[in-house]
Structure 1
Amino acid sequence: MQRVCFLLKVRADRIEEYRRRHANVWPEMCDALSATGWHNYSLFLRDDGLLVGYLETEDFEAAQRDMAATEVNARWQAEMGPLFEALEGERPDEAMKPLTEVFHLA
């Protein structure tokens, strides 16, 4: 099982909206994440907009690819994209670049 951690940045003027939207994630979005191999998925948001994501999956590239192919993900990314800084033309799910794990206490 791969452990994946990534960082993104929520725009300072959109932090409250980001929190509100994630308080009520669409059930079909949660179902799609589970069905495409996203497990133990958590998002942590600092007050300055730094977003830390963590998930476990058998194959992160496959999980990303399979999720990107879903209709619900296309809708979610279109709505969430404007809330982020510096995506450089990418959707938020495309901008998730895994950090290198340097230590793990099992």
Structure 2
Amino acid sequence: MQRILSRTRLRAGNEAAYDAVHAAVPPALAERLRAAGVHDWTIWRDGQDLVHLVEVEDYRAMRRSLADDPVNAEWQATINPLLEADDDYSGGDDGLPRVWSLAAQLDGAAP
């Protein structure tokens, strides 16, 4: 399983709206995420900055499977206007690069 960290940024003034739509994502979206291999997706917000921790079987495969999914497209149509940059699920990103891990260091593994 992969643990992917990424970040996004809200357009100014959209903090409350973003929090409100995430009070509970649509059940159909939650089902699509789970079917795409997502075990958990946690989001923290600091003002306009959002930090996402995605625990998933294969991050790139998940994004490819959701790129043309109509349920995800509907969700993105709700979320993208709140963000400074749209996410169309294209590209081959791997999230933020990990610099250091205590567990990896103690276990002798690479970062």
- The alpha carbon displacement at 1:23 in A equals 0.1
Distance 1:10 1:92, change over 3 A: farther
Q: CA deviation at 1:97?
A: 5.8
TM-score (structure 2 length as normaliser): 0.82
* Alignment RMSD: 1.9
Q: Please, which runs of 5 or more residues in structure 2 have no aligned partner?
A: 104-111
Encode CA deviations 1:59-105: one digit per residue, 9 max, x unaligned: 111010112231100000011111011x1xx4265597600012234
Moved over 6 A (4+): none
Structure 1 unaligned segments of length 5 or more: list them.
Answer: none
2:31 and 2:101 map into 1 onto residues whose CA distance is: 29
The one-letter code sitting in structure 1 at the alignment partner of 2:75 is: W
> Could you say what secondary structure the match of 1:91 adopts?
coil
Give yes or no for contact 2:64–2:90 (8 Å, CA) kept in 1.
no
Question: How far apart are the structure 1 equivalents of 2:45 and 2:39?
Answer: 19
Asked if residue 91 in structure 1 is aligned to residue 87 in structure 2, the reply is yes
The count of residues paired between Structure 1 and Structure 2 equals 102
Q: How far apart are the structure 1 equivalents of 2:68 and 2:89? A: 12
Bigger relative contact order, structure 1 or 2 (CA pairs below 8 A, ≥6 apart): 1
| Alignment deviations for residues 14-58 of structure 1 (CA, whole Å, 9 cap, x no partner) | 110000000021010111101101122101111x21000001122
Structure 1 residues 37 and 12: CA distance shift in structure 2, 3 A: same
TM-score by length of 1: 0.85
> Which residue identity does 1:16 align to in structure 2?
A
Q: Quick one: distance in 1 between partners of 2:50 and 2:89?
A: 13
